[in-house]
Structure 1
């Protein structure tokens, strides 16, 4: 019996167990930095597998190390565990038991898959050359994110490479999406306060109107995308907040403007705050106003390592056929998996979990988000087989 067939049979034998883990986690979701019961469940489940060195890098995260019988490379596999502040509107039996908290992004499935991978690989320990680390990460959904905390706690010390995956309702079941190079955007935020001089609406000449000045700021921010950078680079600047005034007949003294910046190019990303300040300075000085400006760098872009992605690509094609492989364009959403990629090369892929026939059509972070649970078995098999390929032929 070939190793591939043997692994497939082992995974088939635990399929229902993986689904059971996912459903338990879905019933009892916990928000970012609050995953205490989730982490304890993962810890206790891992203990039943044997042969794992289990630790808590942070209060609500888990790391398990599987050290093979022979020396070799060290790879890390990552799953996130946190839920979202959403009131679930699904009606299946394992719907969230906690009001206002829901696994609306598939992290329950990620955790269950990685538990399945850990169980299978512990059974195959004698075939492992090197080490596999299982990272069960907290707080992916809430910047500054759990990945950076885990890096600072040393989970990547000695690691050669890392892989991660996201169950995606945007991809149909059976499809696996890969991105060479940029995969997900960096996500930053800004807050601007335009300070003018308040006054009565009937005498605007006596005021310095921050609303009219603020609208000019909003309009000119779009010039950054269209005029300040190479047209072939991808950049999104979205103004999502504009607050000012409290009475119809009063010009306010200030307005606040907030928004989001998404980018892939690290050089462009670093220059965005300077571009915004240049616009703010010019417009406010022209009208006798002043400004306050706060810019927060969030998650960096997720940039996949070309060689690791190629190895994942080969694994997908061999396991599931070339028709399952889909090269996808970079996604403008963000992921704190990028914190790991700053330290070691890695690749982040998408596993199709949508199914129109079953009504699994809702996007991530929607109150009716769901996954086709058949995707869990696909994810476990992909991670197990990729682990062996990476340990044997990956970068050093």
Structure 2
């Protein structure tokens, strides 16, 4: 089965590329992926599979492939939403929708998984167990699609789940992995500081919300430098400070928004507790009132160490000319809602390097000039195919 599957994927490499280019030209934002979902569902029409559409809180699709032999039930996941970015690449299949772009590689994720799934359908007679193909909507925008798909119960019978991400961190043929906590969790904060406005000449008659906000911007970083273990990962970024006013008027109120990242649940709890404590202190010190909105969304992504070790062994022993190197990557700072699958099921989420060959310093995911070496698409398909074969009896 392994030899057949690898051969089938090689023969359909151009099809994978063309699907990716079609999706790249026709991106849709999170929770708006109606046409993308229809394209995906139509791909499976008249194939011997069960299809569930509109799964979760959006356009999620679950395709169930039942093998003719008993075995595990595994999940394979790819996301299909795009980002609100104006594309600045020069590729001939550039986005046709101004201000929307596949700048994170989800077009490639969907393309490889569609063709891999179709090949597995054709090999059902040799397949042990059940494979659930998870075409997921809305990875980019909290609450995301993964959490709602997990909560729907359609995956409750999974024994394990796998996913990949295209990353420009090396040439096509390189595969990265990391066991344990591998992607940061994330939270959103918004702080409204209500002071008492006044004349710029008489600050003693007012309570300056800008001064209180500026103090908070500085002191909140002491959570990272003085409240976390130096070996723990934590980031607090205040990305918005809405304090525009008039030069001689003391602001009555300001609003701040921030992004919080953490690699463990313990760090998550520490940051939230300390931020709430600092906000209370701000009210007392500056005689202002504060309204804090603090919303954790994606949890840290935890790769099951045993499952990851098995994936690494499989890929290193694949003896495949397209899989040239398998090496450990460090934990990564972004967040990824695959973490919700990994919270419930043994999971492995690994990385397919895709740096374009003609760019010395490639643009990273979410950049308007993000692009990939399309040779990485076959690497993704074959790598996940190898993992599927390793689960067979």
- TM interval, shorter chain, is over 0.9
Secondary structure of the 1:74 match is: strand
The answer to whether residue 379 in structure 2 is matched with residue 378 in structure 1 is yes
Whole-angstrom distance in 2 between the partners of 1:88 and 1:220: 37
Secondary structure of the 1:357 match is: coil
Secondary structure of the 1:91 match is: coil
Please state how far the C-alpha of 1:360 moved relative to its aligned partner.
7.9
* Structure 2 counterpart of 1:181: 180
CA RMSD of aligned residues (A): 1.6
Report if aligned partners of 2:315, 2:386 keep a CA contact under 8 Å in 1: no
TM-score by length of 2: 0.95
* Structure 1 counterpart of 2:333: 332
Please state how far the C-alpha of 1:309 moved relative to its aligned partner.
0.6
Higher mean alpha-carbon deviation, 53-62 vs 79-88, is at 53-62
* Structure 2 counterpart of 1:255: 254
1:18 to 2, 16, 19: 16
Gaps of 5+ in 2: none
Higher mean alpha-carbon deviation, 186-195 vs 151-160, is at 151-160
Whole-angstrom distance in 2 between the partners of 1:380 and 1:282: 53
Please state how far the C-alpha of 1:283 moved relative to its aligned partner.
2.7
* Structure 1 counterpart of 2:61: 62
Report if aligned partners of 1:169, 1:360 keep a CA contact under 8 Å in 2: no
Whole-angstrom distance in 2 between the partners of 1:170 and 1:34: 30
Please state how far the C-alpha of 1:35 moved relative to its aligned partner.
0.9
Higher mean alpha-carbon deviation, 115-124 vs 57-66, is at 57-66
* Structure 2 counterpart of 1:47: 45
Please state how far the C-alpha of 1:358 moved relative to its aligned partner.
5.5
Report if aligned partners of 1:120, 1:384 keep a CA contact under 8 Å in 2: no
**What are the equivalent positions in structure 2 for 1:1-396 lying under 5 Å apart?**
3-48=1-46, 50-56=47-53, 57-58=55-56, 59-319=58-318, 320=320, 324-357=325-358, 361-392=362-393
TM-score by length of 1: 0.94
Please state how far the C-alpha of 1:170 moved relative to its aligned partner.
2.6
Whole-angstrom distance in 1 between the partners of 2:106 and 2:174: 19
Higher mean alpha-carbon deviation, 105-114 vs 144-153, is at 144-153
Please state how far the C-alpha of 1:55 moved relative to its aligned partner.
1.4
Please state how far the C-alpha of 1:5 moved relative to its aligned partner.
3.4
Whole-angstrom distance in 2 between the partners of 1:31 and 1:263: 26
Please state how far the C-alpha of 1:92 moved relative to its aligned partner.
2.1
Q: Pick closer, same or farther for the CA change 1:228–1:359 going to 2, 3 Å.
A: closer
Aligned residues: 389
